[in-house]
Amino acid sequence: MTALDVLVVSRRNVPRFKDLTPEETADMFLTTQKVGKVVEREYNGTSLTIVMQDGLAAGQTIPHCHVHIIPRRFGDWANNDDIYIDIDKTKLNEVYTTTEHTTALKVDNEERQPRTLEDMAKEAANLRKFFTDAS
Indicate which residues carry an active-site annotation. 66
Residues 86/108, Cβ–Cβ less than 8 Å = yes
- Whole-angstrom distance, CA of residue 72 vs CA of residue 48: 5
Q: How many residues does the chain have?
A: 135
Phi-psi bin for 44: left (phi > 0), alpha (psi -120 to 50), beta? left
For 35, half-sphere exposure in the C-beta direction (CA atoms, 13 angstrom radius) is 22
Name the DSSP letter for residue 17. Answer: G
